Structure 1
């Protein structure tokens, strides 16, 4: 099966060929090299089952310290960005409700991601655009440790936005479309 036909393979390829080379997450390369990223497909057509899968992944991380982070690929389902944002809000509330606040946090990614204060064509949106809708489940302790050893972590978002704007919307859109099998 080609990466474009397999959402997990496309996501792995996105991390390795889009995120890491552009240094969008300065810590991703280390985790790729350590093979500590777990990739999980979740059918998000049924929100209840998808949310149960999120809690199950928190429990797996509790039990498996060798896994640093999990990417929950929400395919099929949640193709509409507004639906994804509604799901994300429920997922974040569920983490709090289950007692995971301060232990895990969610980073959000979607093929049509658009920051509230940005135009859809702004290349800066590609910091959070991915081949499929997904939730990135991060260990807060690991994130805090990585940030403590990184110079000027507050500048990461601005640096990413500037670099992606320099690369340009068309080039980024083509790269992402290729990963989704649309180029």
Structure 2
């Protein structure tokens, strides 16, 4: 992998370790990460069509390699605007349905400028889905089902994350997430 590409992947892994694992934003991520079952894949996509091709290739890879629990597709050269990324998610969901993977795979979305519907762009709760680059987190539905069954209060996780992020100082937020 080229050095500049490795820098991108490394920055996403660092964000994952500091934010997702360090803040325990996803209590189910630590075990597969420790086991090496999370794959971070760099996309060279520069438009929706090439991104859909990469998405399809990576979902096929998940189909073929059952030792990969989940995959993070990093898209540094497309979706500079969150609105474009958000619209693309409909295409991604349509691809999953078209391929017969509805109920098998699910996509979690992360973007540097992520804003939840009806939120102010400066609301700290948006940081639960902010990342250094646009990402598509490809998740096996069986993993989600297992997580739901094993957690005592799955519905409390989002509120806990919002409260945690709202409690962090600006400096701490920058330390964890950087300047994006």
The TM-score normalised by the length of structure 2 is 0.92
Give the structure 2 partner of residue 50 of structure 1: 51
**Does 162-171 or 66-75 show the bigger shift?**
162-171
- Distance, in Å, in 1 between the alignment partners of 2:175 and 2:56 is 34
Asked if the contact 1:44–1:78 (Cα under 8 Å) also holds between the matched residues in 2, the reply is no
Q: 1:95 corresponds to which residue?
A: 96
Query: What is residue 165 of structure 1 aligned with on the other side?
Result: 166
Verify the 8 A CA contact 1:121 1:169 in the aligned structure 2. Answer: no
**SS of 2:73's equivalent?**
strand
1:1-183 alignment to 2 at 5 Å?
Answer: 1=3, 6-169=7-170, 171-177=172-178
Unpaired runs of 5+ residues, structure 1, are: none
Secondary structure of 2:165's counterpart equals helix
Aligned partner of residue 84 in structure 2, secondary structure: helix
- Structure 1 stretches of 4+ with a deviation exceeding 4 A read none
Report if aligned partners of 1:95, 1:101 keep a CA contact under 8 Å in 2: yes
In the alignment, the residues of structure 2 paired with residue 176 and residue 157 of structure 1 have an alpha-carbon distance, to the nearest angstrom, of 18
Give the secondary-structure state (helix, strand or coil) at the position aligned to 1:6: helix
* CA-atom RMSD in angstroms: 1.8
8 Å CA contact 1:102, 1:140 repeated in 2: yes
TM-score by length of 1: 0.91
Whole-Å separation in 2 of the counterparts to 1:89 and 1:174: 33
- Separation in 1 of the partners of 2:149 and 2:129? 23
**Separation (CA, whole Å) in 1 of partners of 2:27 and 2:54:** 27
Range with bigger deviation, 169-178 or 14-23: 169-178
